[in-house]
Homo-oligomer: A and B are copies of this chain.
Amino acid sequence: MNFALSDEQEFLKEAARGALSRVKTVEAARDALDGGALPDLWPTASEAGWAGLLVSEEHGGAALQPLEAMLVFEELGRVLASVPLLGHLPASLLIDRGGDAAVAAALAEGTERAAFAAARPPSDIEDAWTVEPELGSTRAPAPVLADGTVTGAVHWVPDAEGADHLVVVLADGRAAHVRAADAAVEPTTVYDVTRPLAHVRFDGAPATLLETTPEDSAAAWYLAQALIGAEALGASDVALETSVAYARERHTFGRPIGSYQAVKHELVEILRRADNARSLMYYAGWAAKDRPDEFALAASAFRLSAGKALDHATRAQISVHGGIGATWEHDAPLYFRRAQLSRRLLGGDAGAADRVAGELLTQARAAA
């Protein structure tokens, strides 16, 4: 038994941190709120091999595991780096398994990009594949395929702008490959400008059915859940580090504020939540590789745990910093924006909680 990262995995993290340290991503995130352009980190991603991280070697990829992808996302989250991998990785995984080999190779190389019009798999109490609605709490039916064309709409799709390929999950759980040019992609950002989103509408768009199973589509959904979680965990760690540093040096009533229980216990709570999330990231990584039937549970639990950890951490960061933490010049609000959007993305943290319950109740019913 060995439940820690391998040297290779530690090295992958360090390499990612190094590569990202060359760009002032957090400053860029702030400028972007005033309309500034975000740096294009895709070349960095391609050179680092992140584009082909999950693509098989026969298609020129690194054939690494979801855990490695999570470790990269942890580093992306630390510095709020805007790299369109949340769409690209799950999509490339499906194309690699059941799509055009040439496209898979292009995606692995990074010369072309893919986005993932995801659908949430059915649960113990919901039998449909559903997608994000434009507004409100009622999920929408996934697009349908008929005589080679896809029709339907998927909202709040990450990284669709500028993608060459779209992988769309259908109402029956299968997945189809659509050229982005054949779909109506309406770019938008909301609240967190480091997260490019789009409303994607398919109106009889020519599509190729992938030779993958609904299980593959589900695995791609849960991969996206785990990636959102990893990103949140990285951001939460930074919120903790900056808050601890400030609490040690900022004085009030003749003492560092970190010596007061209210502040100290709040900071420990960030650590407690992050530590639980890290254990679940390892669980999700281990399950993806050794217990595929537990990946739905593990990835959902990890996404929930990390999402709630980041939500709490960014609020604590703001309040520990006092008023200054709520000002435009401070980094805390940028991490807070990330937390607030991520919390509602791709089924939301609440959806992940529901899925954890569903998976465990299903197990319990089977055992009963």
Q: Please, how many angstroms separate the alpha-carbon atoms of A141 and B261 in the complex?
A: 51
Q: Please, how many angstroms separate the alpha-carbon atoms of A262 and B268 in the complex?
A: 13
Q: In this complex, what residue of B is CB-closest to A265?
A: B262
**A256-282 toward B: CB 8 Å interface, digit per residue (1/0)?**
000011100100000000000000000
Nearest CB of chain B from residue A363's CB, rounded to whole Å: 21
Set of chain B residues within 8 Å of A260, measured between Cβ atoms: 261
Chain A interface size, under 10 / 10 to 19 / 20 to 34 / 35 or more: under 10
Nearest CB of chain B from residue A32's CB, rounded to whole Å: 37
Q: Please, how many angstroms separate the alpha-carbon atoms of A146 and B100 in the complex?
A: 73
Nearest CB of chain B from residue A33's CB, rounded to whole Å: 34
Set of chain B residues within 8 Å of A265, measured between Cβ atoms: 262
Set of chain B residues within 8 Å of A261, measured between Cβ atoms: 260-262
Set of chain B residues within 8 Å of A262, measured between Cβ atoms: 261-262, 265
Q: Please, how many angstroms separate the alpha-carbon atoms of A261 and B265 in the complex?
A: 10
**A233-269 toward B: CB 8 Å interface, digit per residue (1/0)?**
0000000000000000000000000001110010000
Nearest CB of chain B from residue A256's CB, rounded to whole Å: 14
Nearest CB of chain B from residue A350's CB, rounded to whole Å: 17
Q: Please, how many angstroms separate the alpha-carbon atoms of A262 and B260 in the complex?
A: 9
Nearest CB of chain B from residue A260's CB, rounded to whole Å: 6
Q: Please, how many angstroms separate the alpha-carbon atoms of A261 and B260 in the complex?
A: 7
Nearest CB of chain B from residue A137's CB, rounded to whole Å: 15
Q: Please, how many angstroms separate the alpha-carbon atoms of A261 and B261 in the complex?
A: 6
Q: In this complex, what residue of B is CB-closest to A260?
A: B261
Q: Please, how many angstroms separate the alpha-carbon atoms of A54 and B262 in the complex?
A: 47
Q: Please, how many angstroms separate the alpha-carbon atoms of A260 and B265 in the complex?
A: 12
Q: Please, how many angstroms separate the alpha-carbon atoms of A262 and B262 in the complex?
A: 6
Nearest CB of chain B from residue A2's CB, rounded to whole Å: 38
Q: Please, how many angstroms separate the alpha-carbon atoms of A265 and B265 in the complex?
A: 12
Q: Please, how many angstroms separate the alpha-carbon atoms of A103 and B322 in the complex?
A: 64
Q: Please, how many angstroms separate the alpha-carbon atoms of A278 and B64 in the complex?
A: 60
Q: In this complex, what residue of B is CB-closest to A262?
A: B261
Q: Please, how many angstroms separate the alpha-carbon atoms of A260 and B261 in the complex?
A: 7
Q: In this complex, what residue of B is CB-closest to A263?
A: B261
Q: Please, how many angstroms separate the alpha-carbon atoms of A261 and B255 in the complex?
A: 14
Q: Please, how many angstroms separate the alpha-carbon atoms of A260 and B260 in the complex?
A: 8
5 contacts between A and B (CB under 8 A): A260-B261, A261-B261, A261-B262, A262-B262, A262-B265
A interface residues (Cβ-Cβ under 8 A, vs B) = 260-262, 265
User: Which 5 A-B residue pairings sit nearest by Cβ, starting from the closest?
Assistant: A261-B261, A261-B262, A260-B261, A262-B265, A262-B262
